[in-house]
Structure 1
């Protein structure tokens, strides 16, 4: 148990979401955390920065550096993080409100590019609009629960769709990924959503799944323990109860292998030696290590 963690709002999809090391963690112990807290308007996702004392298993100096727009409900927070070239990328779900994903004056339904202090990063595509638009890198997202970097430095996001239409997206500065105006799935009540089509003004997913797999995480394999897996995206399926391998080639992606896990897969990560760690979801969930037979 780690001391000094923040008080967290626990309901629905709220709770503690992500923890990543800062770029100089080995020397300064800086970590970034994302979680959900209570708010007078309902619930609010936040990102904080703190110092971790590994020997004492304790956080100190915790400060909130970024706030998601608060609203009612307890779903679609997302709050996955990645640091690249001194910038902090944060995924921000639509909070099950749909329309904010197309509104550049909110930071919902988007991927954000921030400084390591939580301010809008210089040069963001809509910086000239001011306000929340200055934080945005891409828009039109529903519930992006994974973000990872490939060997070429490209960023990818895995995203839960509605009923069907889960996505793997290549992040491109200033692009609009369509939600809720375009999707390869349908609403939960069965009502249709327009498919992605050429010329619709939205960037289509590089890969999608219908029926859903419910991707709860994303890792891009960089090791050598599994021959042929280099630069593959690995996704854990929640409703799909599987591990999915997607081959990435430039900006294209194709599912090449799937394995039945028999349980909901919450997270996938690469171990330092190239093994693959899988974390099951729910009470009694196990941490598994995969190695070649």
Structure 2
């Protein structure tokens, strides 16, 4: 699909955010935004950007580490619970990906507590994952990453390179695929992943989709199924950074293959399934943020099939995508002077 130049209006609605990473709308239509440095802020259409909120956790703010995703509990109107993912500092300069809950009252977080930690904690500043999705049956799917460690993504005795499925209090659902497997982490839902910063559930089917970063080439759009192995680092549609080749996924049929492969990479981060009225041609499509592709990648999803249909160039590293209550699309840019942009109505 080709779009005429100037067909979308782009408005800067906030700036001077330090590497914003995640966002979600409150019921009153204010926007919660995380900064990787550890701040959680409120963007109000009248009052602008707030000072950092009180009550957020200490974060490992090095390299790709910091404060990541923010999500409201599906029952937020009743319980006021806000979920945050973040790189949690550990002993001896290690860090791990953690998920916690705080109570949002009077524009601050109270009683924040961690309900899940990726094990083990690892030294190094790369590949944390961190996207939160709530399933229709009341569970959380949390994307993790292999912390740039390669082989542990094939070892279910740790959480590296996995997606985990937990209850909203952090406990383990007893129908998880590896609950009865000796030595396996009971939270694991799928494994063999590299670094996942894009995830969303298709509301039409309930299917869980991720866009996963490959190495040098080979970003993947994957349909995630319980207990399946997605092959990293044994197979990939990309190559190692030193130029050495990795076997293609279709040479190992025991691994799940991607529905879309991107080479050159788009470096996907953030994703929604759009259902607004402002852009009817995007309804039931996935909108994926692109860091290296500097815009939005539009993917048509039909049951278990997918194809890219359009790219919206924004000349900025797009870290997250959200749908506003009025049907416009909000994106945040990954920059030291990060911005919140609003894609408006067609001219």
Q: Is the counterpart of residue 98 in structure 1 residue 166 in structure 2?
A: no
- Please give the alpha-carbon distance, in whole angstroms, between the structure 1 residues aligned to 2:243 and 2:252: 25
Segments of structure 1 that go 5 or more residues without pairing to the other structure are: none
What is the CA deviation profile of residues 166-212 of structure 1, one whole-angstrom value per residue up to 9, with x for unaligned ones? 11111111111111111111111111011111652111111110011
Structure 1 segment 30-41 matched on structure 2, within 5 A: 30-41=81-92
What is the CA deviation profile of residues 38-86 of structure 1, one whole-angstrom value per residue up to 9, with x for unaligned ones? 1115112111111011xx2111111111111101111111011111121
- Please give the alpha-carbon distance, in whole angstroms, between the structure 2 residues aligned to 1:64 and 1:213: 32
Q: Is the counterpart of residue 51 in structure 1 residue 113 in structure 2?
A: no
Residue of 93, 99, 114 corresponding to 1:64: 114
- Please give the alpha-carbon distance, in whole angstroms, between the structure 2 residues aligned to 1:190 and 1:79: 28
Segments of structure 2 that go 5 or more residues without pairing to the other structure are: 1-51
- Please give the alpha-carbon distance, in whole angstroms, between the structure 1 residues aligned to 2:326 and 2:227: 36
Residue of 239, 249, 253 corresponding to 2:302: 249
Specify the SS of the correspondent of 1:262: coil
1:107–1:132 contact (8 Å) kept in structure 2: no
1:82 counterpart residue number: 133
Name segments (4+ residues, structure 1) moved above 3 Å: none
Specify the SS of the correspondent of 2:250: coil
The structural deviation recorded for 1:273 is 2.0
Greater length-normalized contact order (CA 8 Å, ≥ 6 residues apart): 2
The structural deviation recorded for 1:284 is 2.1
Specify the SS of the correspondent of 2:341: strand
- Please give the alpha-carbon distance, in whole angstroms, between the structure 2 residues aligned to 1:120 and 1:26: 25
Specify the SS of the correspondent of 2:186: helix
- Aligned pair count reads 291
Residue of 275, 278, 284 corresponding to 1:225: 278
1:216–1:235 contact (8 Å) kept in structure 2: yes
TM-score w.r.t. the length of structure 1 is 0.96
Residue of 59, 62, 79 corresponding to 1:8: 59
1:9–1:36 contact (8 Å) kept in structure 2: yes
Q: Is the counterpart of residue 188 in structure 1 residue 228 in structure 2?
A: no
Structure 1 segment 1-293 matched on structure 2, within 5 A: 1-41=52-92, 42-53=94-105, 56-69=106-119, 70-84=121-135, 85-150=137-202, 151-197=204-250, 200-291=253-344, 292-293=346-347
TM-score w.r.t. the length of structure 2 is 0.81
